[in-house]
Amino acid sequence: MGRCPGCSEWGSLVEETAAPSRGGVVGVVGGAAAKRIADISADDRPRATTGLVELDRVLGGGVVPGSAILVGGPPGIGKSTLLLQTLDRLARGGSALYVSAEESERQVKLRAERIGTSHANLFVLAETSLESILSSIEKVKPAVVVVDSIQTVSSTLLESAPGSVSQVREVAGRLTAYAKANGPAMFLVGHVTKEGSLAGPRVVEHVVDTVLYFEETTGHSYRMLRAVKNRFGSTNELGVFRMSDDGLAEVPNPSELFLAERPTNASGSVVLAALEGTRPLLVEAQALVSRSPLGTPRRTALGVNPARTSLLVAILEKKAGLALADLDVYVNVAGGVRLEEPAADLGIAVAVASSIFDKPVDAKTAVFGEVGLAGEIRAVTQAEARLKEAAKLGFRRCVLPAASVKGLSVKGIEAVGVKTLDEALQAALPR
Ligand code: TYD
Ligand code: MG
């Protein structure tokens, strides 16, 4: 085919040969026998802690032996740095192998010197052939392996080029199978490329146990590590790091970071107490409402779901009587944070109202809560954790769902329970 039916690009199709058969003939007897579930022993070898609290949390409490973990992200974000730091710590509990298919041994050594890594149990292998890598792993018998990256490693059994879909699948599949059978934890690095010239980590997401993505917050040296799939823990956990001169440093209190540049006494800015995985996080939601030159006014949302934002605008119109029909509404979450939970609703609604009335929200007041279509404020999970985080950062007042207030008392902060959107706007905005 000359033209790709998917993207309409001409001459972009590349021939790939099928993977050679691994000896299995269809219909042949043999292979594994089914066992009674009662006879299977769940070996619960303890998780290994990486020494980086932020990474451990995202992994769900440490590295599970025998699991495969994909670490994806754009080039230059710090994947190699993070994993080399991790291996240095993990090497204290058993040997660790860093396979570099991109950099020479010397380059790895230079990076290791920069971040102060030199554990005797840390082995380095500069190699691109999957078969040689597997035989090296057999010899070293490490407890943990990093393969950097799956797009530059290739199997000699396949004719297609490194980085092609079939190679990336084969490499990830065989390394994952090795980890499962033999027990080392396997970290696989995958580049996310905009051009799409390399097969992205997405093609192997289903093969591995855990998928972590490394993202940059816009315009900062901060990096966020997010779990998007985790067979051994919760997803949506967030780890925050800062790139420093000697490697990645943990940012233990990201709320402070996200609020650092908050404008004081500006309308349209609200601090909302969100939850990222199990961690409470205070972030600033901003809204700007302006007269629309268009027949259909714009609803633009960054960092929150645009459909959810349109919904909130409609609720504000109908239930709180705000006239938004001929106004453009822009919503943004500061610091490049993405909010996906309904508890962010109230923050966004208050930000929009604050912008319309041109009245700033009190600097020491935070909000959270889900807004229903009837204009009711609904309870959300972990109200206490959110309230505590707000108190910790010096907030004196918090507007939250009335149903979440019951039996809740946190020192130093007043919990103002609200039942309707009207009540919430009254409590959050000075009249
Ligand atoms: P790197 O880990 O090579 O990124 P990736 O493997 O995701 O491509 O790190 C990339 C950037 O980090 C590079 O531009 C240099 C910078 N860096 C520091 O600022 N401090 C350090 O200590 C190290 C090791 C790297
Ligand atoms: Mg790298």
Q: In this model, does residue 257 exceed pLDDT 80?
A: no
Percent of the chain beyond pLDDT 70? 93
Provide mean pLDDT across the span 14-25.
61
Q: Are strands 144-148 and 365-367 parallel, antiparallel or unpaired?
A: unpaired
User: Which residue type occupies 300?
Assistant: T
Tell which residue, 185, 190, 210, 211, has the closest CA to residue 90: 185
Mean pLDDT of the chain: 88
Provide mean pLDDT across the span 116-141.
92
Q: pTM of this prediction?
A: 0.74
> 257-428 belongs to which CATH class?
alpha beta
pLDDT class of 173 with cuts at 50, 70, 90: very high
* Strand (E) or helix (H) holding 407: none
Provide mean pLDDT across the span 410-423.
94
Q: In this model, does residue 409 exceed pLDDT 60?
A: yes
The pair of structure tokens assigned to 130 is 């999957």
Q: Which atom of ligand 1 is found nearest the CA of 149? A: 6
pLDDT tens-place string over residues 72-120 = 998 889 999 999 999 998 998 889 999 999 999 999 999 999 998 878 8
Calpha distance 310→307 (Å, rounded): 5
- Chain center to CA of 155: 30
Q: Which atom of ligand 1 is found nearest the CA of 246? A: 22
**Ligand 1 pocket by Cβ (under 6 Å):** 73, 75-81, 111, 114-115, 243, 245-247
**Atom 10, ligand 1: residue with shortest CA distance:** 76
The pair of structure tokens assigned to 62 is 């440490």
184 in Cβ contact with 127 (< 8 Å): no
Calpha distance 383→104 (Å, rounded): 50
The answer to whether the 45-252 and 257-428 domains have the same CATH topology is no
Cα 56 to Cα 229, 238, 256, 405: the distances in Å are 15, 10, 21, 32
412 in Cβ contact with 396 (< 8 Å): yes
Pocket test for ligand 1, best of 152, 193, 213, 243 (most atoms within 8 A of CB): 243
309 in Cβ contact with 324 (< 8 Å): no
Calpha distance 305→343 (Å, rounded): 13
Q: In this model, does residue 18 exceed pLDDT 70?
A: no
Residue ranges covered by each domain of the chain: 45-252, 257-428
pLDDT of residue 198: 59
| First-to-final CA distance of the chain | 66
Calpha distance 81→78 (Å, rounded): 5
pLDDT of residue 8: 86
Q: In this model, does residue 195 exceed pLDDT 70?
A: no
The pair of structure tokens assigned to 241 is 């790091």
Distance, CA 143 to ligand 2 centroid (Å)? 21
pLDDT of residue 253: 80
Helix 79-90 and helix 105-114, axial crossing angle in degrees, nearest 10: 80
Which ligand does the CA of 109 lie closest to? 1
The pair of structure tokens assigned to 61 is 């409490």
SS3 state of residue 299: strand
pLDDT tens-place string over residues 35-80 = 888 888 776 678 888 888 889 989 988 999 999 999 999 888 999 9
Specify the CATH number of the domain 45-252. 3.40.50.300
The pair of structure tokens assigned to 331 is 């919503």
111 in Cβ contact with 146 (< 8 Å): no
pLDDT class of 207 with cuts at 50, 70, 90: very high
Contacts of 110 (CB under 8 A, 6+ apart): none
Kindly report the backbone phi and psi dihedral angles of residue 288, in degrees, each rounded to the nearest multiple of 5, phi listed first. Answer: -135, 125
Provide mean pLDDT across the span 123-132.
94
Q: In this model, does residue 20 exceed pLDDT 70?
A: no
